[in-house]
């Protein structure tokens, strides 16, 4: 039995039904000639979402991505150091001493998975620093994802690949030159490393790395050029936080701050969330709240699945891919 067939047979109510509705809405949105932006919060790359996300990119089911700096880099960490990762299924039972032991072994834990500092982060640092310094010396500036695109397409990391390259969503994005927006990139391992190299003087111009404001300007240009009255952009949000909050604001900015007319609202909205609305969490706000901010319209198809994104996202992607 196909995955899609199984899901449609079994997933009939509550969050299960919302999953089906969101997936079918995603397919309808694309079938009508529209585009889709996907946002990645949390540690989706370390959860190896790239296995399904890369295929979505290959099949043109995703047309832009907004993600945290962690998700941007952690897909590459996994690409070059997968065999050195360690899984700790009983992570809830770890003592403070157990955690310190992991620290002493340079194993950085993300829930049940430890990222090896030396094989992942420091290996990437050695390579990316060369690209940063070259751009700095040439008085050029690039976005964080553009530096990664340069590195991946150069083939310099191929000798270190430890997974099937087709499961790296960043590698697939680089091949397509997919628009990526990374708000708050400095809140990431490589962001901290970059700051360190600026402080130490290895990089003379801090603006060798383009900023979040420039990302918003890039997003505004992309949205204006891509979204038309007859072809809107959908918004598929995995988790919450800045990865989702940053890009969805481009629409009211275009309308209210730039006074541009003829720019459509987001044409589809779905979010996989485990946040709680009553805590005042923007990430947990029901979709209708976004109507009051000029992001969605009353007739925009809206879905929310309150569940674990590592479970839900691959299933929705499976339906969209007709697996």
Number of structural domains found in the chain: 1
Look over the chain and give the mean of its residue pLDDT values, rounded to a whole number.
96
Dihedral angle, C-alpha 245, 250, 252, 254, nearest 10 °: 170
Q: In this predicted structure, what is the pLDDT of residue 276?
A: 75
pLDDT tens readout for residues 152-188: 999 999 999 999 999 999 999 999 999 999 999 999 9
Question: Which residue pairs, CB below 8 angstroms and at least 24 apart, start in 130-134?
Answer: 132/194, 132/197, 132/202, 132/203, 132/208, 132/209, 133/202, 133/203
Q: 168 and 50 in contact (C-beta within 8 Å)?
A: yes
| Stated length of the chain | 323
Indicate whether this model's pTM tops 0.95: yes
Provide the token pair at 58: 């290959």
Residue 134: other Cβ atoms inside 10 A: 12
Provide the token pair at 4: 């899609």
pLDDT tens readout for residues 113-159: 999 999 999 999 999 999 999 999 999 999 999 999 999 999 999 99
pLDDT tens readout for residues 206-216: 999 999 999 99
Dihedral angle, C-alpha 238, 289, 247, 261, nearest 10 °: 140
CATH value at residue 168: 3.40.910.10
pLDDT at 274 over 90: no
Provide the token pair at 260: 């541009």
Q: 133 and 16 in contact (C-beta within 8 Å)?
A: no
Q: Which domain holds residue 293?
A: 3-321
Q: How far apart are CA 171 and CA 165, in angstroms?
A: 7
Q: How far apart are CA 150 and CA 174, in angstroms?
A: 8
pLDDT tens readout for residues 12-39: 999 999 999 999 999 999 999 999 999 9
Sheet with 107-110, side-by-side order of all strands: 86-87, 113-116, 107-110
Q: How far apart are CA 132 and CA 181, in angstroms?
A: 19
What is the percent of the chain with per-residue pLDDT over 70, rounded to a whole number? 100
Q: How confident is the model at residue 283 (pLDDT cuts 50, 70, 90)?
A: confident
Q: How confident is the model at residue 279 (pLDDT cuts 50, 70, 90)?
A: confident
Pick the closest to residue 169 from 148, 186, 185 (CA basis).
148
Q: In this predicted structure, what is the pLDDT of residue 282?
A: 74
Q: 197 and 126 in contact (C-beta within 8 Å)?
A: no
């Amino acid at each position: 039995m196909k995955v899609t067939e199984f899901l449609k047979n079994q997933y009939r109510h509550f969050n299960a039904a919302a999953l089906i509705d969101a997936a079918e809405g995603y397919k309808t949105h694309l079938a009508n000639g529209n585009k889709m932006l996907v946002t990645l919060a949390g540690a989706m790359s370390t959860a190896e979402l790239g296995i399904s996300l890369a295929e979505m990119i290959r099949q043109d089911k995703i047309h832009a991505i907004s993600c945290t700096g962690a998700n941007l880099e952690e897909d590459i960490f996994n690409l070059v150091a997968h065999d050195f990762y360690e899984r700790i299924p009983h992570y809830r039972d770890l003592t403070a001493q157990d955690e310190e032991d992991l620290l002493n072994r340079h194993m950085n834990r993300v829930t049940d998975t430890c990222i090896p500092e030396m094989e992942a982060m420091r290996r990437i640092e050695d390579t990316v620093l060369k690209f940063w310094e070259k751009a700095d010396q040439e008085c050029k500036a690039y976005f964080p994802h553009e530096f990664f695109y340069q590195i991946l397409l150069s083939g310099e990391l191929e000798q270190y690949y430890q997974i099937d390259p087709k499961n790296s969503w960043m590698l697939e994005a680089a091949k397509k030159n997919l628009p990526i927006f990374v708000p708050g990139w400095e809140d990431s391992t490589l962001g901290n490393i970059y700051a360190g190299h600026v402080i130490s003087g290895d990089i003379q111009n801090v603006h060798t790395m383009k900023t979040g404001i420039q990302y918003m300007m890039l997003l505004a240009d992309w949205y204006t050029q891509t979204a038309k009255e007859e072809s809107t952009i959908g918004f598929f949000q995995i988790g919450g936080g800045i990865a989702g909050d940053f890009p969805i604001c481009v629409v009211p900015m275009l309308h209210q701050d730039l006074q541009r007319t003829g720019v459509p609202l987001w044409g589809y909205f779905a979010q996989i969330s485990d946040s709680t609305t009553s805590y005042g969490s923007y990430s947990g706000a029901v979709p209708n709240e976004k109507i009051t901010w000029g992001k969605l319209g009353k007739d925009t198809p809206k879905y929310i699945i309150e569940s674990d994104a590592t479970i839900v996202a691959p299933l929705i992607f499976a339906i969209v891919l007709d697996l």
